[in-house]
Amino acid sequence: MPCTPELLSGVSLFEHLDADDRSKLAEVIDLRSLAAGDTLFKTGEPGDSLFIVKSGEVELYIKDTAGQKIVLTIAVPGQVFGELALLDMGPRTATACALSDTELLELDRGDLLTLFRKTPDAALGLLAAMGHMTRKADELLRTRVSRNANEEANENLTVFQRLSDWIAWFSGSLPFLLINASWFITWICINTFNLGIRHFDPYPFGLLTMIVSLEAIFLSCFVLISQQRQAEKDRLRSDIEYEVNVKAELEIAHLHEKTDQIHAQMLERFVRLEKLLAKRE
C-alpha cells in the first residue's frame, strides 16, 4: 500500500524534509498495516527493510537458550526498528509482534539512501534509535540471571549504611576488643589506685557504667542495621538462586526435547533402513 506525504509529516525522522521531498519519498515508501497479534518478522529471517511505527505498538523480543522470552523493547509511534538487518544485510536479530492494530512505514535500502541524500540529519535519528536499542540490550544483559548479590546490594548503599557496616565489622574485631580492654583497665586503675590523679569516677564507676551502656546501645543499633541489610542481601541471593534453578529446569527440558527429537529421527531412519534391507532380501 503506498504512503502519503501527510503520513510522513508526523514522523520525526522526516521532519527536516520539505513538502516536495516528502512527496517524492512517499512514492517509494510502503505503508503496512498489522492487526493485534500479527507477527511482522521472526528471529533469523532475512531482512531488507526497516520500519517506523506510525500508530500502535510493536513488541520486539528474543528467546534465550532455555526458551525464555526476553522483551527488548516496545516500539511506539515515531520509533524505528529493524534497522540492523537492513544495514548489515544479515538476518533479523529479534521477533516483532504487533500488540495492537498498527500502521508501519517500511523503508528498504534504496529508500534509506534516498532519504540520507535528501537530509543527512535523518541519519542521526537512525543512529539514536540504534543507540537506544543498544542501551536497552546492555541493561538486559546486566540484569539477567547471572548476577552477583553482593554487587547488587552494594550499588544503592547510603553513607550511613556503609558506616553501619563498618562499625558492625569493627565491633567484632580483635582491635576493638583490645581497645576496650585497655580503656577499662586504665579507667579502673586511675579511679582506684593513688596515681597522683584525682579520682573523677570512684567505685562503683557510675560514669563508666553509663558510657558502656550507651556504647552497647549504639553498637546494638548499628549491628541490627547491618543484619537487616544482610537479610535483604540473603533474600536477593535466594531470588537469584530461584531464577537460576528455573533457568536450569527450562534448559534441561529443552535438552530433553532435543533428545526426543533425535530419538524420533533415529527411529525413522532405522525403519527406512529395515525397509530397504527387506526389499534387497
- pLDDT tens-digit readout, 235-255: 877 777 777 777 777 777 777
Would you say the pTM of this structure is higher than 0.85? no
Least Cα distance to 11 among 129, 109, 135, 131 occurs for: 129
- pLDDT tens-digit readout, 95-153: 889 988 898 888 777 766 776 676 666 666 556 656 666 666 666 555 555 555 566 55
The answer to whether residue 1 scores a pLDDT higher than 60 is: no
Strands 69-75 and 58-63: antiparallel
Q: Are 74 and 102 in contact (CB under 8 A)?
A: no
Supply the angle between the helices 109-118 and 121-142 in degrees, to the nearest 10. Answer: 120
Strand, helix or coil at 130? Answer: helix
% of the chain residues with pLDDT over 70: 73
Strands 39-41 and 30-34: unpaired
User: Quick one: pLDDT at residue 65?
Assistant: 55
Mean pLDDT of the chain, nearest integer = 76
Q: Are 62 and 42 in contact (CB under 8 A)?
A: no
Grid-cell match 500502535, residue found: 56
The grid coordinates of residue 181 equal 580492654
Grid-cell match 533479523, residue found: 92
Q: Strands (DSSP E) along the chain, which ranges?
A: 30-34, 39-41, 49-55, 58-63, 69-75, 80-81, 95-98, 102-108
CA angle 177, 178, 181 (to 5 degrees): 85
% of the chain residues with pLDDT over 90: 0
User: Quick one: pLDDT at residue 172?
Assistant: 82
Q: Are 112 and 84 in contact (CB under 8 A)?
A: no
Grid-cell match 533469523, residue found: 44
User: Quick one: pLDDT at residue 137?
Assistant: 62
User: Quick one: pLDDT at residue 143?
Assistant: 55
User: Quick one: pLDDT at residue 264?
Assistant: 83
The answer to whether residue 43 scores a pLDDT higher than 80 is: yes
The answer to whether residue 25 scores a pLDDT higher than 80 is: no
State the Cα–Cα distance between residues 268 and 259, nearest whole angstrom: 14
User: Quick one: pLDDT at residue 227?
Assistant: 82
Q: How far apart are the first and last CA of the chain?
A: 62
The answer to whether residue 220 scores a pLDDT higher than 80 is: yes
User: Quick one: pLDDT at residue 90?
Assistant: 74
Q: What is the phi/psi pair of residue 79, to 5°?
A: -90, 150
Least Cα distance to 209 among 190, 186, 184, 185 occurs for: 184
CA angle 76, 65, 74 (to 5 degrees): 5
User: For residues 48-61, b (16+ Cβ closer than 10 Å) or e, as one string?
Assistant: ebbbbbbebbbbbe
State the Cα–Cα distance between residues 100 and 36, nearest whole angstrom: 4
User: Quick one: pLDDT at residue 246?
Assistant: 72
The answer to whether residue 57 scores a pLDDT higher than 80 is: yes
